[in-house]
Amino acid sequence: MNKTSEKKISGFQFSYIIIALIGLGIFLLFAAGLFDPLPKVVSSVMNEQTIDEVHSGNNLNKLAELNRLEEEVKNNPGNYESLISLAHQLNDAGFFEKAIDNYEKYLEKFPRDVNVIVDYGVCHYELQNFDKAISVLKSALQIEPKHQIAHFNLGIINFAKKDLETARSWWEKTVEIDAHSDVGHKANELLNTQLRSK
């Protein structure tokens, strides 16, 4: 075997080593949870089944309802019931910027509607405006200090920001408010899965 073939063999071996190291690195990142999907925030007006159903993009009835509500609000801007329904539908369907516009119009008239404030904050989170979302949700807690969904969502947002200790604190408070509610169970589950080893 001459020196040239020895170099080629060494080059192949080097390539295999690099590929193996890259594979090991990706495995370690997965094992560390880096690619785990973020937990979902919870809206005050929809449950998890509704979120999954709407975000599947297969619900044409929702689109028809959106169009109907948009027309209704356009023709009667003082109809706040239609306005808030439109905002919620836009939120559910993932049109967060439009939902924010409609939530803001509604909150001008009803600034202390805590559930709407929470959903307004959820939209900012979905757009990755994390600091704004935190500010909005904390303003909801100034009105209703034990709003469990606001606490839960503050945990989610801080988790997304990689502030795990603050996330833990918000989820622990969520459980303290009511450990037996759906949101309390979700918070407890996240404490035991997402933060157990961190």
14, 82: one domain: no
Same domain for 112 and 14, yes or no, is: no
Average pLDDT over residues 112-137: 97
pLDDT for residue 14: 66
How far is C-alpha 96 from the geometric centre of its chain's CA atoms?
Answer: 12
Do residue 49 and residue 74 come from a single domain? Answer: yes
Whether residues 55 and 123 share a domain: the answer is yes
Residue 56 shares a structural domain with residue 19: no
How far is it, in rounded angstroms, from Cα 87 to Cα 102?
5
User: Residue 109 belongs to what domain range?
Assistant: 41-193
Residues 89, 1, single domain; the answer is: no
- Which amino acid is it at 60? L
Q: Are residues 28 and 46 in the same domain?
A: no
Mean pLDDT of the chain: 83
In a domain, 198, yes or no: no
Q: Are 31 and 61 in a shared domain?
A: no
Residue 27: per-residue pLDDT: 55
